[in-house]
Amino acid sequence: MAGVEERVASEHSGNGVPTGTGEIVVENPATGAEIGRVPDMPAEQVAELARRARAAQPGWEALGFEGRGRILLRAQKWVMDNRDRVIETIVSETGKTYEDALFAEVNYAGFAFRFWAENAPEYMADEKVRTAQLFVKGKKLLTRYKPLGLVGVIGPWNYPLTNSFGDCIPALAAGNAVILKPSEVTPLTSLLMAEALRECGLPPDVFQVATGRGETGAALIDESDMVMFTGSTATGKKVMARAADTITPVQLELGGKDPMIVLADADLERAANAAVFYSMQNGGQTCISVERVYVEAPVYDEFVAKVTEKARELRTGVPSGPGSVDVGAITFPKQLDIISDHVEDAKAKGARVLVGGNRKEGPGQFFEPTVLVDVDHTMKAMTEETFGPTLPIMKVADAEEAIRLANDSQYGLAGSVFTKDVAKGEAIARRVESGAVDVNDVMVGYSALELPMGGWKASGLGSRHGAGGIRKYCAQQSLLVTRFALKKDVHMYPYKSRTTKALAGALKLLYGRGKRN
C-alpha cells in the first residue's frame, strides 16, 4: 500500500521547494509506518503558487460552464475508475476503514463532481429582480454572480477527500482557481486529486496543493480572494482574524457536539443502531457525528442495553480491505490525548464505562469503542468536542429536558431526533439550535448536496451545498439598466423649493398612511 503514496508524494515533492526547506513526513496512523514526504511550503512559495493561479484563472473562467463541466465530469469518472487507488490513499493516511473511505468519501466525490457540473449554471445564472420602488420602476434590475478569482481552501484531516477537496469542486465549477492547503497529517489524497484533475484536462495551475503546516495556511489566507476553512473552532477564530487584515471573506465549518434525542416512542432498535454507527463511524472523527445522547427515562434502560450489546461487537484494528474491521484508527496523534482526557474526566466525575474506555497499545493509534453512562454537563465528554469513538448517554425526564440540554452547548452544527411521531419529531428538530437536524436519521442530510449545511453558534459561519455553496465563491453584482429616460429626472439639480415641496407631498401620499398601497 505504501508504494502508491510514496509515488504520489515523490511526484510532487519536486514542486520547486528549495533545498534545505522542511519536509513533512506522512505516516499511516494505523501502523505508524512512513508512507510519504511532502514539502512544508514557506509563505514565499505560497505566493508563487498564487501568482501562477491568478495567471491561469481567466482562461479557466473563459471556458464557461460547458467547458469546465466537461472536465469535472471526466474527474468523476476518474475517481470511479481509480476507486481502489483513491481508497488506498485515504485509508493509508487516515487509518480509517475501507467502508468509511468508500461510503463517506468516494461516494461524496462521485456525486459532487456531477452535482456541481450540472447545477453551477443554474445557481450562478443572472436573476431578474422586481421592485416595488416607484423611482426605479421600468428599469431592468439584475443580480449576477462572477467568480472571485483565487479561492483558498484549508482542510482538516478527518475527510481528506470530502471535507478538504470537496469544497474545491464548487469553487472550480464557478470558474475560480483554487489552492488547497490540506492538513499536514493527510496531504496525499489532495495531491492525488491534483494528479487526477491534470489527467482529466484541467489547465495547469488552476488547481494547486500547498502542503504545509499552520503557517502555510496562514500565508494562503493572505493570498486568497476568499477562504473556505474546515477544522477546529480555535483555529477558525485565527483564520477569521487573519482574514480581517485584508478584508478577505471567510466561511468556516467548525467543531460540533451534536446531540441525539431519543423519545420514549422511538423505534429503539433503529435508534440504537444509529447511535452506535453514527458515533463510531470514521472512528467518531466526524464533525456531524453523534457526540452525546439524551434518552427519555421510560426507555433508557432498554436503549442502553441495546447500545452496549452492539458496541461490544465492534472490531477495531488495522484496516485491510472490505469488511476487515468496523472502527479504524485515530488519525491525528494529539486526538488520542483529547479522547483519553474526556473519558478520564467523565470517570473522575462519576461516569460509568460500560464498553471500552481505553486507548489501545501500539503500533498505530487506536481508541476502544466506548459507551459511557451516568454522565452530565459538568463533564467534558458532554460539552467539548471529543472527536473519537465515544458514546455518552444521559437519562432525561422528558423531551423538554432533552431540548434544554441539547441546546446547552457552545456548538450548533447538527443533531437528531428519534420518534415514531414524525410531526412531533419535526417540531422538536425546529427547536434544536443547530444548522442541520435529522429526524429518525443522522448525518445523511449532508449527502443531499441540494440541502445547505452550515453551523450555528461556535460551529461556523456560512454554509456549503445548495445555491449558497457555490455563490459564496462569487462576487455578487447588482445591475440596473435604464432603457428609456428623460433628459433630466425630477430630483436632479438644481434644487427648487416648489419641486421639493411637490416631491415631499408625493412621499407623504406614498408612505404616510402606514398601510399597504
> Which residue(s) pair with 392 in the sheet?
372
Q: Is the peptide bond before 494 cis (omega within 30 degrees of 0)?
A: yes
Q: How far is the CB of 220 from ligand NDP (least distance, A)?
A: 7
Which CB, 187 or 356, lies closer to ligand NDP? Answer: 187
Which CB, 5 or 61, lies closer to ligand NDP? Answer: 5
Q: How far is the CB of 412 from ligand NDP (least distance, A)?
A: 13
Q: How far is the CB of 210 from ligand NDP (least distance, A)?
A: 10
Q: How far is the CB of 264 from ligand NDP (least distance, A)?
A: 32
Report d(CA 204, CA 416) in Å as an integer: 43
Q: Max Cα separation, the chain?
A: 89
Task: Indicate the burial class of 282 (C-beta count within 10 angstroms; 0-12, 13-18, 19 or more).
Answer: buried
Which CB, 192 or 218, lies closer to ligand NDP? Answer: 218
Q: How far is the CB of 285 from ligand NDP (least distance, A)?
A: 7
Which CB, 179 or 403, lies closer to ligand NDP? Answer: 179
Report d(CA 307, CA 135) in Å as an integer: 65
Which CB, 71 or 379, lies closer to ligand NDP? Answer: 379
Q: DSSP string covering 173-240, please? A: HTT-EEEEE--TTS-HHHHHHHHHHHHTTPPTTSEEE---SHHHHHHHHHH-SEEEEES-HHHHHHHH
Task: Indicate the burial class of 308 (C-beta count within 10 angstroms; 0-12, 13-18, 19 or more).
Answer: middle
Q: How far is the CB of 110 from ligand NDP (least distance, A)?
A: 20
**Phi/psi at 121 (nearest 5 deg)?**
-60, -40
Name the grid cell of 174.
464557478
> Which residue(s) pair with 416 in the sheet?
260, 438
The DSSP H or E segment spanning 99 is helix 98-101
- Cβ(178)–Cβ(153) under 8 Å? yes
Q: Which residue is nearest to ligand NDP (CB)?
A: 217
* Residues contributing to the site for ligand NDP (CB under 6 A): 154-158, 163, 181, 183-185, 213-214, 217-218, 230-232, 235, 238-239, 253-255, 287, 332, 335, 338, 385, 387
Q: DSSP string covering 121-151, please? A: HHHTS-EE-----GGGTTSEEEEEEEE-SEE
> Amino acid identity, residue 122?
E
**Per residue in 403-428, is it b (16+ CB within 10 Å) or e — as a string?**
bebbeebebbbbbbbbbeeeeebeeb
Catalytic residues: 253, 287
Q: How far is the CB of 250 from ligand NDP (least distance, A)?
A: 10
Which CB, 112 or 295, lies closer to ligand NDP? Answer: 112
- Cβ(388)–Cβ(339) under 8 Å? yes
- Cβ(227)–Cβ(220) under 8 Å? yes
Q: How far is the CB of 438 from ligand NDP (least distance, A)?
A: 17
Q: How many CB atoms lie within 10 A of CB 504?
A: 10
Which CB, 209 or 268, lies closer to ligand NDP? Answer: 209
Which CB, 266 or 443, lies closer to ligand NDP? Answer: 443
